[in-house]
Structure 1
Amino acid sequence: MVIAGGLGSTVWDFEGNEWLDFSSMLVNTNIGHQHPAVVAAIKEQAEVLTTVAPAHANLTRGKAAQRILDRAGGSFSKVFFTNGGADANENAIRMARLHTGRDKVLSTYRSYHGNTGAAVVATGDWRRVPNEYARGHAHFFGPFSYRSEFWAESPEQECERALHHLERVIVSEGAASIAAILIETVPGTAGVLVPPPGYLAGVRALADKYGIVLIFDEVMAGFGRTGGWFAFQSLAEQEGGLVEPDLITFAKGVNSGYVPAGGVIISPAIAEDFDDAVFPGGLTYSGHPLAMAAIVGTLDAMASEGIVENAAHVGADLLAPGLAELAAKHPIIGEVRGLGVFWALDLVSDPSTREPVAASVVGALKSALFSRGLLPFVADNRIHVVPPCVVTDAEVEKALAIYDEAFSSVAVGTGR
C-alpha cells in the first residue's frame, strides 16, 4: 500500500482512496497525521537550528525534557534522549546494570521491547529466538487471565499466582545477580494485556525487596494511548495508588513519530549516579532539535486541545461498549480487552476452548476491513483497535460499523 497523505485519523493513496487509520501506523501517531501545531513547530525549529551534537546544550531539548518530566510526575528528575524505543530500552538496561553492579535482566515472554541487541533478547516473542546474542537475560510469564498460564479462575488468582511465579524466578535466577525487571506497563504487540489489579504494585514490592531496578516500557502505552499521559498513571486507581518505576522508557506517542525520538525518564537515585561518573553511552542524534521541537509541539497541543482526555472518553464511552456489543454478536471474538484507544479483539475458532482462529481467517478479516475503508492493525489471532487519540466520535461509530460488516462477511464466508 502506498500512502500519499494523511490528516487526523485518515490516510489516502494517490488515487484518492481513503481509509480510517485504526492502526495509528505502528500504534504511534497518537496526535494523528499532519497535526498543524506539530508541523509548525518543526518548521520553526528548522529555521533556527536543524541539528546539534548532543554534547552541546540546546534550548528546545531542555523544553522537551521539562514537558516530559511535568507529565511523568515529581518522582523523576532527568531525561536521556534516544532515537527511538529500542535504544531507549538498551540505555535503560545499561543504567540499571551500572546502578546495581549486577548483570541479569528479567522480562516477560509476552512482550516486545525493540529490535536492537539487548532489547530484542529482552523481548519475549518469536523474534528473540534467532537473535539471542546478548547476555544476561531471563524470562517469566506475566498475567493474562484469558489464556492463563497459572490455571487461574479469577483476576485475583491470576495476579497472586503470577506474582508468586515471578518471585520464584527471581530466587531461582539468583536475586543478587538481577539488575532489572523490564515490563511493558500494558503489553501492546503481545495483545494489549491490561494487568489485573494489584499486579504492578506487587512487582514494585518484589523489586524493592530484592534491590532490583524496575523499568516500565511505555513506548507504546505512553502519551495518551491508555487515556492518561502514562499507562502507570491510568492504572493508579485499580492499583490502589500510583505505582512508579525507577526508569520509564518512551518513544512513539511522545511526538507521534513525526521525527524519530525516544528516551529514558530517570529517577533521582539513578540520575545522581552520573553526576560525577560518565554515562558510557550516547547517540549522534540524541536530542535532535527537530525531534525535540516535535515533542514540544505535540505535548503542548495535547494539553491545550484535551487530546488525552479525548482518548479516555473514546475508550470509556465508545470503544468499550461498542466492542463489547460486537463480541456479543460475533462468536469469533473471544475476548475484548483494553482502555483508552488501546484495545484488542482476541479471535477464536471456538469460544469454549478459546482455540485461536487460523491465520487465513485473520487474513480474510484484514482484507474485509481494508476493502471497506479501514486500515487495521493485525497481530497473530488478534485485531488491535488502536486509532489516534484525536479520533472523533463519528469516526469511531463509522469504524465500529465497518468492523461489524467485516466480521459478518467473514462469518458468512467461513460458514460460521
Structure 2
Amino acid sequence: MTESIMDYGTKIKKDSLAYNLHSWSPQGSLDPKVITKAEGIYFWDADGKRYFDMSSQLVNMNIGHGHRKVIDAIKEQAEKMAFMGPGYAFDVKSEAARKIIEVAPANMGKVFFTNAGAEANENAIKIAKMYTGKYKIFSRYRSYHGASYGAANLTGEKRRFPSEPSIPGFIKFFDPYLYRAPIPFKDEKEATKYYLAQLREQIIFEGADKVAAIFLETVTGSNGIIIPPDGYLKGIREICDEFNIIMVCDEVMAGWGRTGQWFAVNNWDVQPDLITFAKGSTCGYIPLGGVIVSKKIANFFDENTLWCGLTYSGHPIGCAAAIATIDIYKEENLMENSKKMGAILGEILENLKAKHKCVGDVRYIGLFTGIELVKDKTTKEPLVPYGNDPEKIMKRILGMLATEGFSTYNHDNILIIAPPLTINQEELREAMDVMDKVLDYVDNMISA
C-alpha cells in the first residue's frame, strides 16, 4: 500500500466525518471504513482488505457489484435521454413497467414508479385510502417500512419513535414470531389460527368500515427474518376480502429473488392488492422503487384521479437499470441459484445451531436468513435485550466478523445473512466458516 493511497483514504474519512451526516448513529463516535472498490460478492477498503458482502449491503445488491450489463444500460440511457418528466410516455419507462408486471402475481396490472422503498410505501398508503375511502392503516410491530414520515408511522419498531406523535389512523398489531411466542403452540397452524383471530378481533374493535389497508412485509426483513407460518398470508387475504381491506405486501427487501421467487408472496400462492418494491429492482446501481397495483385498483383510477406524483417517478436511467437487472435475473438463473444456495446455507445454519450454545434459532428462506443469538438456549434469553445494548456486544461481534473479512449487520440480537444471489457454494462455505469461528468466541463469552 503506497503512502499516497493511504493519504487518500485518510482524506476521504476526514471529509466524510466533517461534512456527512451518517444514518442511525451518534456522529461523534463514528469511524467509517473507507471503501475503494467493489466487485461480485466482495468489496475492498482503503487498506486493501477484502470483505465478503454477506448482507448484500442493505440486502439490495442481489446481482452483486460491478455488473457490466447494468452499468452499460445506465451509460447508454444517460447519453440517449437522461431525464424526462413523469407525464410523458417513453420507451424504457413503458418497458420496465411491462417487465415488472410480467413477473408479478397474475392479478397485477400497473406500476407507479418511485425513487425508493419508503416512497413506495408512502404512495401505497395514499392509494389504499383513495381506493377504499377509509383512513385507518394496520401494520405490525416487528416491521420496518422506511424512515420518511408516513413510512416511519407505518413502521412498528423503534425507528418510528422520532416521527411520533404519530399520524392519526396508524394501528399496530403483533405478528407471529413463533420462536418468541408467549404461547407454546403445538404447530404452525395453531399459531396461525391464534394470530389471525387476534387480528380479526382488533379490526372489529377499530371499526372495519374505517380500515383501509393491512401492510406487512411478506417476510419480515431487518427485524430478524421472520417467516410467516403455514396459512398465515392466506388468512390475511381472507380477512381483507371479508372486510373490504386492501392487502399490501412490502417486498422492498423480500422481493426480486431474495426468497427464491420473483416475489416472496409466490411462496404461499397469495395475491395481494398492492406490492411495494425497490432494492432488488436495480440492485442499488441507481435508485428506483414503486407500487405494483392490481388490475382492479388500476381500473378504479381510469375514472378517479390518482393523487400521487414525484418529479422523478419513472426516471429514465432508473427504468433502464431495472430492465437490465430483470434480464440478468433471467439470463443467469438467479431465482434457481437463490433456492439452491439457500438450501446449502440452511444446512450450514442448522449445523451452527446444533454446534453453538449461543445460537438460539436460525431462520431461512432462499438467501434471506438470520441467526438469533441467546445467552441461554433453554430460557431463550436474548444476547442483548430489545433496543438496548449498553455494552455494545453486537457491535463487537460485527467487528470480529469484519476483522475476518465478513461484512453484515444486526438487528438487536439477530445477525442478518443475505449474500448476493450470484454467490457460489465455495464462496458461501468459505464465508460461513468465518461465522463459525466468530460464534466460537460468542460461546466462550456467554460461558465466562
TM-score for the superposition, normalised by structure 1:
0.96
Tell me, in whole angstroms, the C-alpha distance in 2 between the residues paired with 1:126 and 1:343: 22
**1:154 Cα offset (Å):** 2.5
Matches within 5 A, 1:30-49: 30-49=62-81
8 Å contact from structure 1 (residues 222, 250) kept in 2 = yes
Q: Report deviation, 1:13.
A: 1.3
Say if 2:369 is the partner of 1:337: no
Shift of 1:185: 0.4
Structure 2 counterparts to residues 170-249 of structure 1, below 5 A: 170-233=203-266, 235-236=267-268, 242-249=269-276
Q: Deviations over 1:256-285 (max 9, x none)?
A: 011111000001111112113221121011
Task: Find the counterpart in structure 2 of residue 324 from structure 1.
Answer: 350
Determine if the alignment matches structure 1 residue 130 to structure 2 residue 152.
no
Which residue does 1:254 correspond to in 2?
281
2:420 aligns with 388
TM-aligned CA distance change 1:307 to 1:196, over 3 Å: same
Structure 1: give runs of 5+ residues left out of the alignment: 237-241
CA contact (8 A) 1:76 1:266 kept: yes
- Contact kept, 8 Å, 2:285 with 2:321, in 1: the verdict is yes
Pairwise mapping of residues 347-358 of structure 1 onto structure 2 (< 5 A)?
A: 347-358=373-384
The Cα offsets for residues 67-110 of structure 1, whole Å up to 9 and x where unpaired, read as 11111033111000001001101111111101110000001101
Q: 1:397 — aligned with what?
A: 429
Deviation at 1:394, TM superposition (A): 1.1
Normalized against structure 2, the TM-score is what?
0.89
SS in 1 for 2:248: strand
Report if the CA contact (8 A) 1:150-1:161 is conserved.
no
Deviation sequence 1:321-341 (CA, Å, 0-9, x none) = 011101111010100001111
**Residue 98 of structure 1 aligns to a residue in which SS?**
helix
State whether structure 2 residue 130 is matched by structure 1 residue 98. yes
Does the Cα contact within 8 Å between 2:358 and 2:442 map onto a contact in 1?
no
- Pairwise CA distance, 1:304: 0.7
Residue 20 of structure 1, CA deviation: 0.2
One-letter amino acid matched to 1:120? A
SS at match of 1:118: helix
Contact 1:150–1:162 (CA<8 Å) still a contact in 2?
Answer: no
Aligned AA (1:164): A
- 1:141 touches 1:149 (CA, 8 Å); kept in 2? no
Answering whether residue 88 of structure 2 is matched by residue 62 of structure 1, we say no
- 2:117 maps to 85
In structure 2, what is the equivalent of residue 24 of structure 1?
56
Matched residues in 1 for 2:47 and 2:349: separation? 32
State the partner residue of 1:307. 334
Segments of structure 2 that go 5 or more residues without pairing to the other structure are 1-32
Aligned residue pairs total 409
Displacement, 1:58? 1.5
User: What are the Cα deviations for residues 279-323 of structure 1, in whole angstroms up to 9, with x where unaligned?
Assistant: 11210111111111110010001101111211111111x101011
SS of 1:86's partner is helix
Matched letter for residue 321 of structure 2: A
Q: Which of 148, 171, 185 is 2:181 aligned to?
A: 148
State the Cα distance separating 1:409 from its structure 2 match: 2.5
Q: Which sits farther off after the overlay, 270-279 or 48-57?
A: 270-279
Cα distance in 2 for residues equivalent to 1:381 and 1:21: 20
| Alpha carbons 2:135, 2:211 under 8 Å: kept | yes
Cα distance in structure 1, aligned partners of 2:252 and 2:359: 27
Matches of 1:315 and 1:53 in 2, distance apart? 41
* 2: CA distance, partners of 1:16 / 1:122: 41
**Corresponding residue of 1:239:** none
Which amino acid in 2 is paired with 1:128? R
Give the deviation of 1:190 after TM superposition: 1.2
Query: Shift of residue 150 of structure 1?
Result: 4.3
What is the percentage of aligned positions where both structures have the same residue? 42
Q: Within the alignment, does 1:6 sit opposite 2:33 as a pair?
A: no
1:408 matches 2:421: no
State the one-letter code of the partner of 2:262: W
The CA distance in 2 between the partners of 1:73 and 1:201, in whole Å, is 14
Q: Return the offset for 1:36.
A: 1.1
Question: CA–CA distance in 2 between the matches of 1:309 and 1:18?
Answer: 27
More displaced 10-residue stretch of structure 1: 348-357 or 67-76 = 67-76
Question: 2:118–2:151: 8 Å Cα contact kept in structure 1?
Answer: yes
Equivalent in the alignment of 2:3? none
> Could you say which residue in structure 2 is the equivalent of 1:116?
148
Deviation per CA, 1:37-70, whole angstroms, max 9, x where unpaired?
1111111111110111111112101111111111
**Is residue 277 from structure 1 mapped to residue 304 from structure 2 by the alignment?**
yes
